[in-house]
Chain A
């Protein structure tokens, strides 16, 4: 295996990661919650589907609003990255179903178990991260390198 030096972007990766870590810190200290996107999306959705009040979900919904508005803020100062999908429409639907179901079943995703779980040294989160990383590597290996 060789490193892809032409596409390696260490500076923006470190800057982006730092911002993500800071955002988790602001949400934790400002609202007392883990910034896990699976929960930030899943909890209001569950409340909605069960006919419960959305009032306790207000800060999650505001976090989501921030996520949705971030590209607008970005493009005020810089160009957004070009849009290139990683799969077909059918692939997007299958992947979305798997990601949504899996994130709720495992109770977390790249942010909740990944960033926040590892930051609080949770063994449970580490196990989840290792499993989804391995599954991600294996899936791309099969999709890109398996003949036929």
Chain B
């Protein structure tokens, strides 16, 4: 898949991306489960903040991804590994369904839960541990 060696530049951009992504999640309020659930709760007064998080992220992403597609290669000249799947099938829909139910129950999705774990929060550690078991269970069943 990725024969490209992990150069210092690649290592640093990966670490930087993770740091900035995490800071963005904290700033956005995504690491606060009650904030996430307030967005998902249309039944009382609605906090639409998270729609703006997604809107801003996608607005930046649209420009950046269009630029990357036009460039056709990474900063170090390697090909970009674009996802190739396009099919809309059962696993895609069932996966989204299960994911959404879990997201609603806990108010955590994978990225924010890992950031919250990094802050030493025990509830996030429980969620992440269960998430890893869920991922491993899927891979085991698929095998």
| Interface residues, chain A, with chain B CB atoms under 8 Å away | 1-4, 7-10, 12-35, 37-38, 41-42, 45-46, 49-50, 55-56, 58-60, 62-75, 80-87, 89, 91-111, 113-124, 127-141, 143-145
- Contact between A105 and B29, CB atoms less than 8 A apart: no
Check A37/B29 contact, CB under 8 A, given A98-B98, A102-B99.
Answer: no
Closest-by-CB residue of B relative to A110 is: B109
Q: Report B118 CB to chain A, min CB distance, Å.
A: 4
- Contact between B43 and A94, CB atoms less than 8 A apart: no
Question: Could you tell me the distance between the alpha carbons of A108 and B16 in the complex, rounded to whole angstroms?
Answer: 22
Check A85/B20 contact, CB under 8 A, given A95-B102, A106-B91.
Answer: no
Closest-by-CB residue of A relative to B130 is: A96
Q: Report B2 CB to chain A, min CB distance, Å.
A: 6
- Contact between B95 and A103, CB atoms less than 8 A apart: yes
Check A140/B40 contact, CB under 8 A, given A63-B15, A67-B111.
Answer: yes
In-complex Cβ contact of B18 among A8, A70, A81, A128 (8 A)? A70
- Contact between B17 and A122, CB atoms less than 8 A apart: no
Question: Could you tell me the distance between the alpha carbons of A124 and B86 in the complex, rounded to whole angstroms?
Answer: 6
The total of Cβ contacts below 8 Å across the A-B interface reads 517
- Chain B positions 50-99 with a Cβ under 8 Å from a chain A Cβ: 50, 52-62, 64-65, 68-69, 71, 73-76, 78-83, 85-88, 91-99
Question: Could you tell me the distance between the alpha carbons of A12 and B35 in the complex, rounded to whole angstroms?
Answer: 13
| Interface residues, chain B, with chain A CB atoms under 8 Å away | 1-2, 4, 6, 9-38, 40-50, 52-62, 64-65, 68-69, 71, 73-76, 78-83, 85-88, 91-111, 113-119, 121, 123, 126-140
Q: Hey, which chain B residues are within 8 Å of A2, CB to CB?
A: 45-46
Check A124/B22 contact, CB under 8 A, given A20-B53, A129-B96.
Answer: no
In-complex Cβ contact of A20 among B21, B113, B137 (8 A)? B21
Q: Hey, which chain A residues are within 8 Å of B30, CB to CB?
A: 16
- Contact between B101 and A16, CB atoms less than 8 A apart: no
Q: Hey, which chain A residues are within 8 Å of B132, CB to CB?
A: 41, 45, 100
In-complex Cβ contact of A143 among B12, B64, B105 (8 A)? B105
Q: Hey, which chain B residues are within 8 Å of A10, CB to CB?
A: 49, 52
- Contact between B86 and A25, CB atoms less than 8 A apart: no
Q: Hey, which chain A residues are within 8 Å of B109, CB to CB?
A: 37, 99, 109-111
- Contact between B97 and A102, CB atoms less than 8 A apart: yes
Q: Report B42 CB to chain A, min CB distance, Å.
A: 6
Question: Could you tell me the distance between the alpha carbons of A81 and B49 in the complex, rounded to whole angstroms?
Answer: 16
Q: Lowest 10 CB-CB distances: which A-B pairs, in order?
A: A66-B18, A106-B95, A70-B22, A135-B100, A16-B28, A100-B134, A96-B130, A30-B13, A21-B60, A119-B61
